[in-house]
Amino acid sequence: MIAIACFIIAFILASLVEYWMHRLMHASPKIGERHRDHHRRNEGQGVFWEFRDYVKGSGLVMALMFFYSIEAGIGWCLGGLAYAAFSAYAHQLQHENPKACFWMKMPVHYVHHKYNMWHHNFGLAVDWWDHVFGTYKPVEWLTEEELTQPPRNYLQMRWW
């Protein structure tokens, strides 16, 4: 039971950390240097490389719960890894196939880039925290550009 609770808490906490790190990248010239390049290119690195960066940045935190117990550590670590994988996939999907983000009313990261929203829509995989912290800004995002794109499935994207 503790492993399941730790998994859920880690998954939710990882989404919160991701939201605040993205906001910090927009607020800090030093921390956001690489992120500004991401905005200029407007493309993801590929699911694998995004996942690698997320895990590299959070590896130490994912290991902390092992000091409490093996069961808690496994749940915590798996929750963090699951969110990192989901976020890496969602990030790449929003850059390449935003219409496929069925779990959000509006693909916030896609809109964040498309309309150069420096102060809104910071979520990558989920929009929960944008709603909680008042940074969600809805727009009519389905324009002719998106509507005329040929249909693609959920796996047709850059993985590497």
Residue 4 has a pLDDT of: 98
pLDDT tens profile 123-134: 999 999 999 999
Q: Is the pLDDT of residue 28 over 90?
A: no
The span from the CA of 16 to the CA of 32, in Å, is 18
The span from the CA of 125 to the CA of 27, in Å, is 20
Read off the tokens for 135. 């940074």
Residue 130 has a pLDDT of: 98
The span from the CA of 51 to the CA of 19, in Å, is 16
- pTM, rounded to two decimals: 0.91
User: Vertex 128, ends 115 and 84: CA angle to 5°?
Assistant: 90
